Chains A and B, each alone.
Chain A
Amino acid sequence: DVKVTQSSRYLVKRTGEKVFLECVQDMDHENMFWYRQDPGLGLRLIYFSYDVKMKEKGDIPEGYSVSREKKERFSLILESASTNQTSMYLCASSSPSGFYNEQFFGPGTRLTVL
């Protein structure tokens, strides 16, 4: 059974803290993604990676960075957390198979920044 796991389901941090969100997939997928989800806005792409040590900015990369040192792990870093980064964060992975590129999602991390 394919699996994407995220390090925490719920996280509470204080403004200014450095926050690490970890995502691990066991499907040997090349592509990994970080989204944030806010009510009424759907999923917005923060960063994605198509290979180890490769990363590309998505639609809303400001305030975030990522790290992909191993194929199975993709980390999202909030360098200095702010209250407007309170959100649900979703990680996903996919295989670049041309037409059939469904994404597999983790359960999400609900981050609250106080």
Chain B
Amino acid sequence: SQQGEEDPQALSIQEGENATMNCSYKTSINNLQWYRQNSGRGLVHLILIRSNEREKHSGRLRVTLDTSKKSSSLLITASRAADTASYFCATDATYGNKLVFGAGTILRVKS
């Protein structure tokens, strides 16, 4: 059961530009998380936004959550070549244990 779906599937931008990725989900959630995966490696947690929050910032990352539309977006500002990776959203609907991951967005930042 795939809860989150990312859009677009792939994104290619120039260094310095902003990158926006979107995530839609189907059921009510407790929180939504974003992860990054560098090629062939494990996932790294980036940011978590709770269901009662609308926006959250962490460095160059900005996450928004619209529970009425069941959607979230991840904005990376002033992108760098090192931001090249796959980005996944994950939703928690069960209070604590399982997360459900989407298929991911592949971001390529060209220098």
A binds B: yes
Q: Which residues of A contact B (CB under 8 A)?
A: 4, 31, 33, 35, 40-43, 45, 48, 50, 58-59, 88, 90, 92, 94, 96-108, 110
Shortest 4 CB-CB contacts between residues of A and residues of B? A105-B42, A42-B103, A43-B101, A96-B96
Q: Choose one: B1, B2, B40, B97; the contact of A31 (CB below 8 Å).
A: B97
B48 touches A100 (CB 8 A): yes
A110 touches B45 (CB 8 A): no
Q: Choose one: A45, A103, A107; the contact of B45 (CB below 8 Å).
A: A103
| B interface size (C-beta, 8 A) | 27
Which residues of B are found within 8 Å of A94, using beta-carbon distances? 97
Is B24 close to A, CB under 8 A? no
Per the bound structure, the CA–CA distance linking A104 and B43 in Å amounts to: 8
**Given A42-B88, A107-B42, A108-B40; 7 other pairs, CB 8 A cutoff:** A40-B103, A90-B42, A99-B31, A99-B50, A103-B43, A103-B90, A110-B40
CB-based nearest B residue for A91: B42
Contacts A42-B101, A43-B88, A59-B1 given: A98-B42 contact, CB under 8 Å? no
A101 touches B42 (CB 8 A): no
Per the bound structure, the CA–CA distance linking A106 and B43 in Å amounts to: 8
Which residues of A are found within 8 Å of B104, using beta-carbon distances? 42
Which residues of A are found within 8 Å of B99, using beta-carbon distances? 101, 103
Which residues of B are found within 8 Å of A41, using beta-carbon distances? 2, 103
Closest Cβ–Cβ distance, residue A97 to chain B (whole Å) = 7
